[in-house]
Amino acid sequence: MGRLFLFYRLMIRPLLKEPVRAALTIFAVTLGVAVVLAMDLAGNAATGSFRASMETLAGDNDLEIVASGGVPEAIVGSLATLPYYIRISPRMEDSAVLADSNQTLPLIGLDLVAEANADGGGRALVTSSDKTFETNEDTIRQLQKADSIWVGASLGKKLGDRVRLLINDQVREFTVRGVYPDSNGSESAVVMDLATAQRALNRFGSVDRILLNVPEPPALDEWEQRVRAILPTGVEVRAQGTGTIENRRMLAAFRWNLQLLSYIALIVGAFLIYNTISVSVVRRRPETGIVRALGASRNAVLVAFLGEAAFFGVTGALFGLPMGRLMASGAVKLMAATVESLYVSSRPGAIALSAWSVALAFVIGVGVAVVSAYSPAREASLVSPVEAMARGRREYNTRVHKSRDLLLALVLAIAAAGASRAPAMQGKPVFGYLAAILLVAASALAVPAFTDAILSQSSRWLGKVLGVEALLGSQSLSASLRRTSVLVGALSTAIAMMVSVGIMVGSFRETVLIWMNDRLPADLYLRPAGAPAPDRHPTVSLELADKISKLPGVAGIDRLRAYEISLDGMPATLASVDLSAFRRDNQSSFLSGRPTAQVLAEIRDSKAVLVSEPFTYKHHVRAGDSITFSLGAARPSFRIADIYYDYGSERGTILMDRQTMLRYLPDPTPSNLAIYLMPGTSLEAARNEILQASSGYRVLLASNRDLRAEAIRIFDRTFAITYALEAVAVIVAVMGVAGALLALVIDRRREIGLLRFLGASAGQVHKQILVEAGLLGLLANFAGLALGFALSLVLIFVINKQSFGWTIRFHWPVAVLLGAISVVYAATVLSGLYPAQVAVGLNPLEAVHEG
């Protein structure tokens, strides 16, 4: 207890005498912890614990039977003939849009009569522990009506309400026959009888999935074998929920990248803790000597300074917890929107602040603080009593091993280059991340030499140009090189992340813009209304497609169709284009560089396919390889004719000719139409004609330009969370600069007081501090730009490539970078305002006559 008391008196109470500086340091840790926690919580909710929308009401079944394009209905009969007692639940699974609110909901068709009668009739149909359909005779009668639906309670509907639903491209009216209790409002769905769903979706003869509930024993493996034995080729049986697991795996890289980005703020915070403890060590040298002379061990000194760091860590974590929880609410919305846009339609799970999350916050806060403080704390423990108490040694300049550190920086940079050439490990760019960390470390080690070189060469020149205040300011920074270097290191790391991500996103954006030129050759694009998602493919009515193709002014239409399939345990998209229809193809967008016409001719009505670049990365295939997958009632093999760039989705796509697909999946309805106009046809006139022809259908018609604009809007939104993370890192760094400048002012009060004696005005003192802030900002900007460029290469050519498989063309977003750097520079200069005020407010008499 005595030691704790001593710790408080010697280490904590002095912090209270500088509340602003202490608060800035704590806030830096708070932000770092909050961001990491927020990304962890949001990641869990948006990707880790999400359930694909179609898992709504899936209940506690054991197995599922799936097939590309749908499972033939006859399978249900085959299963029923098995000499076992198993519960068979065929399902239609799609989506419907509430016409009034545009809210997209899962549409689930169930054999409600069979479900109700499964236990002998008249008993509650339990679909999961908290969802119950109460069945009675009246309900069964309602089942037979073609417009009957059941909805989750969170939709706020009641029995008898009429609901207009957009299904594919048509709006139909339904009557609510029942409301079921959905938990926490996130799993509401539209449920209808299987037959009703098949009619609404215009898909007859097949179901989307068959769920099986089997008794134990035997084990599940044995059941899979029994069921597989009666299934035709192309139809698969697997554990229920496999789709969810596949999606989670697919989302892992996305989540992993965001999680790592969130650690940047923490790394910047680590610099600042290092600086804070270093300052503390220097200031307390005389006290350290006294305490050692009075009997404290080296270990006690080490623990004392580590304890000071832990204090910052614990306090930062305490504040970081609620802040992180709050930030997670915003983050999950952004992440969920990205998941929905690029991966799979889903509802995020609830944000759960568990004991693990709380532990994570403290481990991060305290861990980073203690690790950062170790070096200066160890230095303090090595101070001998005599040295620390020497009179007249007012200033102690920590030795900075510039040359040694520069050499080490070079070694690390070379190691980084080597690491960046290593392949991914289990689909994760582990060596890419290592390369990034090595680059950051190399930069931190090179900063002292860089800072010293710039300051020593420029201080007198600065004095001539900006006045004696600039000379004094630059020399002051040079004299405390270690502190200056740490500050420049912290700020430059934050700037580097901003620059590197800015370059990566800018390059990506530019690549996507160029890609869209090739990929969107048609004049107009038509699809069913409703929010799009990579795994949702509502269809356009055949009659409408035919009607549009016959309009004057329409040269031709390309009927595109897509299905969701599973390949090698990963979800993928199977799509077809109509190569026999009129087309107008742009430049080649194939990895081989071959002309488009040549490549398409190769896959026309043949067993050759094209695959997207992300597909090749996920499935480790290349042009010329063969891929085999279930398609309808078959399991054909296809040769990969070429690979195309695809930035629309990260899922991976197989593209074939429509004629080839129809052979296996005979449903001719398209998912969307690419419409080519006759030369000279007015776009507006054609648009109006098409919309007129589409009256009675709910479709969206977009011009080529509108589609690109929408694609870019989704792209920008995808990176919103990345920008937010960068902004936090920069804020932490700028606050750190403010806190450190304040410390510098306080430690230089004698010098500042002396200047006042020598005739310096308040304005001149003010100017000197602002010049120091400006110099720090300038040094950090230069260092940050250099490091940022290097990191951007790793991000673009290693991490992004290995995570998602995308090829990105390097591009300098000059305007964006200049703007961002200017804002950071201005913020850094402004961060000097308060320390400058403090400097002006110092009493020179006290300052000069101290000690």
Partner 1 sequence: MAIVSFEKVSKDYLTDGQRVHALDDITLEIERGEFVALMGRSGCGKSTLLNLAGAMDFPTSGNVVLDGVTTSALKDAGLTCLRREKVGFIFQSFQLLHTLTVFENVELPLLLAGKPKARDAARERLDWVELDGLGDRYPHQLSGGQMQRVGIARALVQSPAILLADEPTGNLDTITGNVILGLLKRLTRELNTATIMATHSAEAGALADAVVRLRDGKIGEIGRR
Pick from 408, 754, 816, 817: which binds partner 1 (CB under 8 A)? Answer: 754
Task: Assess 755 for contact with partner 1 (CB under 8 A).
Answer: yes
Task: Assess 751 for contact with partner 1 (CB under 8 A).
Answer: yes
Task: Assess 472 for contact with partner 1 (CB under 8 A).
Answer: yes
Task: Assess 848 for contact with partner 1 (CB under 8 A).
Answer: yes
Query: Which one-letter DSSP state was computed for residue 678?
Result: P
- Comparing CB distances to partner 1, the nearer of 456 and 580 is 456
Evaluate whether 450 touches 785 at the Cβ level (below 8 Å): no
- Comparing CB distances to partner 1, the nearer of 173 and 395 is 395
Task: Assess 17 for contact with partner 1 (CB under 8 A).
Answer: no
Q: Rounded distance, CA 43 to CA 331, Å?
A: 9
Length of the chain: 851
Task: Assess 845 for contact with partner 1 (CB under 8 A).
Answer: yes
Pick from 761, 809, 822, 841: which binds partner 1 (CB under 8 A)? Answer: 761
E-assigned strands of 39-169? Answer: 51-52, 63-66, 71-72, 87-98, 104-110, 125-128, 131-133, 148-152, 162-167
- Comparing CB distances to partner 1, the nearer of 130 and 846 is 846
Whole-number minimum distance, CB 754 to partner 1, in Å? 5
Whole-number minimum distance, CB 401 to partner 1, in Å? 20
138: its two tokens: 């009246």
Whole-number minimum distance, CB 845 to partner 1, in Å? 6
Whole-number minimum distance, CB 778 to partner 1, in Å? 19
Task: Assess 130 for contact with partner 1 (CB under 8 A).
Answer: no
Query: Which one-letter DSSP state was computed for residue 826?
Result: H
| Separation of CA 772 from chain center | 37
Q: Which residues from 426-465 bind partner 1, rule CB under 8 A? A: 463
Residues pairing with 175 in the sheet? 148, 162
Q: Which amino acid is at 501?
A: V
The residue whose two tokens read 């603080």 is 369
Whole-number minimum distance, CB 446 to partner 1, in Å? 23
Q: Spell out, one character per residue from 711 to 750, where the chain touches partner 1: x when CB under 8 A holds, - when not.
A: ---------------------------------------x
Q: Which amino acid is at 818?
A: L
Query: Which one-letter DSSP state was computed for residue 607?
Result: S
DSSP letter string over 726-758?
HHHHHHHHHHHHHHHHHHHHHHTHHHHHHHHHT
Q: Rounded distance, CA 456 to CA 450, Å?
A: 10
Q: Rounded distance, CA 815 to CA 821, Å?
A: 10
- Comparing CB distances to partner 1, the nearer of 385 and 467 is 467
Evaluate whether 643 touches 605 at the Cβ level (below 8 Å): no
- Comparing CB distances to partner 1, the nearer of 460 and 717 is 460
Query: Which one-letter DSSP state was computed for residue 715?
Result: H
105: its two tokens: 């909901």
Coil vs helix vs strand at 567 = strand
Number of residues that bind partner 1 (CB under 8 A): 26
Task: Assess 682 for contact with partner 1 (CB under 8 A).
Answer: no
- Nearest by Cα to 268 from 773, 739, 732: 732
> What burial letters (b/e) apply to 555-591, b meaning 16+ CB within 10 Å?
bbbbbbbbbbbbbeebbbbbbbbbbeeebeeeebbbe
- Comparing CB distances to partner 1, the nearer of 49 and 475 is 475
Evaluate whether 783 touches 492 at the Cβ level (below 8 Å): yes
Q: How many Cα atoms are found within 13 Å in the side-chain-facing hemisphere of 13?
A: 7
Q: Report angle CA 585, 588, 590 to the nearest 5 degrees.
A: 125
228: its two tokens: 């597989």
Whole-number minimum distance, CB 837 to partner 1, in Å? 14
Whole-number minimum distance, CB 459 to partner 1, in Å? 9
Whole-number minimum distance, CB 762 to partner 1, in Å? 6
Task: Assess 466 for contact with partner 1 (CB under 8 A).
Answer: no
Terminal Cα-to-Cα distance of the chain (whole angstroms) = 33
> What burial letters (b/e) apply to 128-140, b meaning 16+ CB within 10 Å?
eeebebebeeebe
Pick from 762, 818, 823, 826: which binds partner 1 (CB under 8 A)? Answer: 762
**Of 27-35, 501-509, 531-539, 840-848, which part binds partner 1 (CB under 8 A)?**
840-848
Q: Which residues from 383-402 bind partner 1, rule CB under 8 A? A: 395
The residue whose two tokens read 């080296």 is 298
- Comparing CB distances to partner 1, the nearer of 395 and 706 is 395
Coil vs helix vs strand at 806 = coil
Pick from 144, 245, 757, 809: which binds partner 1 (CB under 8 A)? Answer: 757
- Comparing CB distances to partner 1, the nearer of 680 and 759 is 759
- Strand duo 51-52 + 346-347: pairing: antiparallel
- Comparing CB distances to partner 1, the nearer of 476 and 792 is 476
Whole-number minimum distance, CB 405 to partner 1, in Å? 22
- Comparing CB distances to partner 1, the nearer of 139 and 474 is 474
Q: Spell out, one character per residue from 579 to 618, where the chain touches partner 1: x when CB under 8 A holds, - when not.
A: ----------------------------------------
Q: Rounded distance, CA 778 to CA 798, Å?
A: 29
- Strand duo 104-110 + 190-193: pairing: parallel
- Comparing CB distances to partner 1, the nearer of 467 and 556 is 467
- Comparing CB distances to partner 1, the nearer of 467 and 553 is 467
**Of 57-65, 203-211, 282-290, 473-481, which part binds partner 1 (CB under 8 A)?**
473-481
- Comparing CB distances to partner 1, the nearer of 754 and 778 is 754
- Comparing CB distances to partner 1, the nearer of 4 and 762 is 762
Please report, as ranges, the residues that interact with partner 1 according to CB under 8 A: 395, 463, 467-468, 471-472, 475-476, 478-479, 750-751, 754-762, 764, 844-845, 848-849
